[in-house]
Structure formats: C-alpha cells, structure tokens
Structure 1
Amino acid sequence: MGNGKIEIKRIENPTNRQVTYSKRRNGLFKKAQELTVLCDAKISLLIFSSKGKCNEYISPNTTTKKIYDQYQNTLGIDLWNTHYESMQEQWRKLKEINDKLRRETGQRKGGDLMSYLSFDELRRLEQNMAASLTTIRDRKYHVIKTQTETCKKKVRNLEERYGDLLLKYEAKCEDTWFGLTADHGDYNSAVGFANEACNLYAPRLQAAGHPDLHHGGAF
C-alpha cells in the first residue's frame, strides 16, 4: 500500500505544526548543504518561523551580504538605494508630523498666531484649548478631593489613637487607686487615713460656722 497524499494546508494543532516545521526545516538545510558540496554552489537560505525566529544556512567561505550583492549585480538593480529612498520618505513624513506638533505647541502658548492661522483655525484652536482646560480642571478637582479625603482619614486615625490612649490612661489611674487596697491588702489603713482627713477638717469647718470660738467664748 502506498502512502496517501497529504493535503497542503495549515496544520491547526500547534504541537504538530512545530514538529513538522522542525523536520522540514532540517530537511531543507540538508538539501542546501548537499547542493553546496556536490555542485560547488553558493547558497544563502533564510527561514522565519511563525513567531519571527530566524534560521539561516550559509555556504562556507561566504556571507549573506556577499550573496545579496551578487544577486543585485546579476539582475542589474540596486536594492540598497531603494531601501534608502524608502527610509528617506519615512523620515520626511515623520519630520512633517514633528513640525506640526511643534507649531501647535507654540500656538497653544500664544505664539505664531498672526501669520499662520485663519479665523476657522483660530476658532478650532480656541475650542481645543477650552476642552484641554476642562480636562485640567477636572484633574485638579480630583487631586484636591483625593488629598482632602486622605487628610480626613489621617485626622480620624489620630482621633481614634487619642481616644485609645485616653482610655488606657484612665484605666491605669484606676488601677493605681485600687492598688492601695487590692495589691497591699491595707484596706483598714486606707479607711483610717480617710477618717483622719475628715476629722482634721471638721474643727476648721465648725470654727468657721461659730465666730465666738475664735475669741475664747464661754461654753
């Protein structure tokens, strides 16, 4: 039984496609090498994968540039000049775009308004600047709002920290007062101290209520 014909179309399975690419590429390189040895031919073979990776085969004692120059001489064309002219055209277009942007930037700053712009161009410039001013103002208000919210959040955090510290301080003061009785167990001493303080101030209060006591009045 002979091998069936393979339909030439893109292989959808990525693994099979990569395997086929590697095999066919190596086969082309082998044929190019055989052609170089058998026929003394100069070959430059470039293969680019679907991912942009370059694979190259060059005959010994030569370079791709030499073969490229020989190709131009044989056909009587100059591909380098064509490429140079294409680059020059691209550079000219980019220079025009750059000059236009520089001119518009100067006009937005108030320069080059008398000799370049017509009435319609001035009106369009005014509209563009008004739109830009609106965008700038919106951005400014957004920054102010963000900074204000950040400051409010910091103030709330400080207030919460202050409240926590105040509670801790009050709790510590209460622990210190109750420590006279709880830690040392000297409850009677504390009560006696309080009674003595009351007895100390009682005569003074009584004397303040009876002026005759200050003059040695008779009982």
Structure 2
Amino acid sequence: MGRGKIEIKRIENSTNRQVTFSKRRNGILKKAREISVLCDAEVGVVVFSSAGKLYDFCSPKTSHLKGEDLNSLQPKELIMIEEALDNGLTNLNEKLMEHWELHVRNNKMLEDENKLLAFKLHQQDIALSGSMRDLELGYHPDRDFAAQMPITFRVQPSHPNLQENN
C-alpha cells in the first residue's frame, strides 16, 4: 500500500516547511550515497536551505571538486579546476556588477523623483501663501468705510425724493 500523492506547492507553515526540508534533504543525500556506491557513479549534490546554510555530498571520486584530496590530481586536472573556478569568479563578479548598476540606477531614479516632488511641494506652498495673502488683503467688513459711518447715513431712502422736479 503506497502513500497518496501530495500537491507540490510551498508549505505555508514555517515549522512544517523546516521539518519537510530536513527530511527531504536527508533523503536526497542518502539516495546520492546509495547511487554512488551501488552504481559506482560520480555524484555531487549541493543543497542550500532558505537560511543559506550549505549541505553537500560528493562521491569519493569527485571529492577533489570540493577542494579535498588535490595532491592525487594531475596538473591537467588542476588546470581545469582552476579555470572552472576562474570562470565561476568571473560570472560572480559580473552578477555583482549588474546588481550594483541596477542599485545605482534605482537610487538615481529615486533621487530625481524626490527632487521633483520637493519642487511640486514648493510650488504648492507658494500658491497657498499667495492665496492667503489675497485673503488677508481682500474685503473685510470691519475695515470698510461704511462700517465707520453712523447708521443714519447708511440708510437708503425707500421713497423717491418727491421734492425733485424732473
């Protein structure tokens, strides 16, 4: 009787995810050892956890790839390993440079956007201070001349002047 199939997707619970990683990592390393011994195959497995921890296995014939047992290698093999390391280092430096250039570009874009927003804010401040000045200089009934006149002079006659001749 076999197990049921599970859906292959990310495990949301971090504890369950860590337990599953540990079990499956041990299983894959065990399978690598078995295939190396049973089939006399050259096997190398490298696994990185989500925290960046390295887990690896190499069969005895490939241990020189990890930097172990280099004395038994011929100069040709050492040159090949050195070239592979140089290529890896070159690729790593290129990737690092790409990330740096991307960072510089993004930083420049953010600085430009910040300058633009600061300029717009300054323009709005100027517009608002101008509007406030207009409000301060605008009509104020308490400062108006009519408010200083006695009430008798401010009344408009409701009847036309009957003594005027047209």
TM-score range, shorter chain: 0.3 to 0.5
Larger gyration radius, structure 1 or structure 2 = 1
Q: What is the TM-score with the length of structure 1 in the denominator?
A: 0.34
Q: What is the TM-score with the length of structure 2 in the denominator?
A: 0.43
